[in-house]
Amino acid sequence: MCRKRILCLFDVDGTLTKPRNKIEPHLEEFLYNKVKSVCTLGLVGGSDLKKIAEQMNGDDVVKKFDYVFPENGLIQFKNGQEIGRESIQRFMGEEKLQKFINFCLGYLSKIILPVKRGTFIEFRAGMLNISPIGRSCSQGERDDFERYDKIHNIRRNMIEALKIEFPDIGLTYSIGGQISFDVFPTGWDKTYCLQHLETEGFEQIHFFGDKTDIGGNDYEIFHDSRTIGHKVMNPDDTKMQIIELLGI
């Protein structure tokens, strides 16, 4: 197997790490010492580079992986160097962007939850991340909200309200992780990163992700004709599937 012809492209949350946790040392060592010797490594996440770096144990993640695509690939790194970026602000324009944000803030102000914390809307280069409970909640509060959301569909109901209020704005909504959902221009899901890989000469691109069902933020890239999708349950399952795929 030629390393340069096979790319293993990984989601972060739920795939290489437990949600918002750091990668376990045994999996990190396995990726860098074994997997990287037989295939090219890529990383694509909805979070910004700072959060990805926190979960992957440092900013040198852009050097350890051959390709790193924060924010679904709206920012691109190859061999440790940034090679491009795009902006949702430039795409939408300030007037539409503020109208959308104002509606979200109004909607969130009317939701009653067991607890609410801070940072309900996070502005990223390629998307808005919206969290009804607030991203500054503790891990225990994250777990509690995830269970509450499965019963009361807080995130799904808000997405439906946004679709009704903004039917023609050209946005896509994607639930990922435990407490939030992403909003981005249609086509700016994780498949966005693939355009930067099409001319790289790979014979196969294997994508590993956990949120591969409809509405999950791995759905589009998992089903894309340019990738071979692998649905995983957790980081340990990811490791087992890699071993089976690569025979290492």
Task: Please identify, among 185, 200, 217, the residue that sits at the C-terminal boundary of a domain.
Answer: 185
Domain co-membership, 195 together with 165:
no
Is the model's pLDDT at 1 over the cut of 70? no
> Tens of pLDDT along 142-183?
999 999 999 999 999 999 999 999 999 999 998 878 999 999
- Tell me whether residue 59 is one of the annotated catalytic residues: no
> Tens of pLDDT along 53-83?
999 999 999 999 999 999 899 999 999 999 9
Task: Please identify, among 162, 185, 208, the residue that sits at the C-terminal boundary of a domain.
Answer: 185
Grade residue 37 by pLDDT with cuts at 50, 70 and 90: very high
In degrees and rounded to multiples of 5, residue 135 shows phi and psi of -70, -10
The residue annotated as part of the active site, out of 13, 66, 149, 189, is: 13
Grade residue 7 by pLDDT with cuts at 50, 70 and 90: very high
- Closest by alpha carbon to 135, among 66, 98, 182, 195? 182
Q: In the chain, which ranges are E strands? A: 6-10, 40-44, 67-69, 75-78, 81-85, 121-123, 128-130, 171-176, 180-185, 204-209, 228-231
Q: What is the pTM of this model?
A: 0.75
The CATH number of the domain where 208 resides is what?
A: 3.40.50.1000
CA distance 111 to 100: 17
Average pLDDT of span 8-15: 96
Domain co-membership, 81 together with 199:
yes
The residue annotated as part of the active site, out of 11, 149, 189, 210, is: 11
CB 53 within 8 A of CB 61: yes
Domain co-membership, 171 together with 95:
yes
The CATH number of the domain where 138 resides is what?
A: 3.30.1240.20
Q: State which residues form the domain around 219.
A: 3-85+188-246
CA distance 222 to 197: 15
Domain co-membership, 24 together with 111:
no
- Measured in residues, the chain has a length of 248
> Tens of pLDDT along 122-140?
998 788 999 999 999 999 9
- Closest by alpha carbon to 238, among 215, 210, 197? 210
CA distance 70 to 127: 11
pLDDT of 187 reads 87
Cα angle vertex 18, ends 17, 23, to 5°? 30
Task: Please identify, among 163, 185, 207, the residue that sits at the C-terminal boundary of a domain.
Answer: 185
Domain co-membership, 201 together with 239:
yes
The H or E element containing residue 42 is strand 40-44
Average pLDDT of span 22-41: 96
Q: How many structural domains comprise the chain?
A: 2
- Tell me whether residue 11 is one of the annotated catalytic residues: yes
Domain co-membership, 40 together with 66:
yes
Domain co-membership, 166 together with 103:
yes
pLDDT of 70 reads 95
CB 41 within 8 A of CB 66: yes
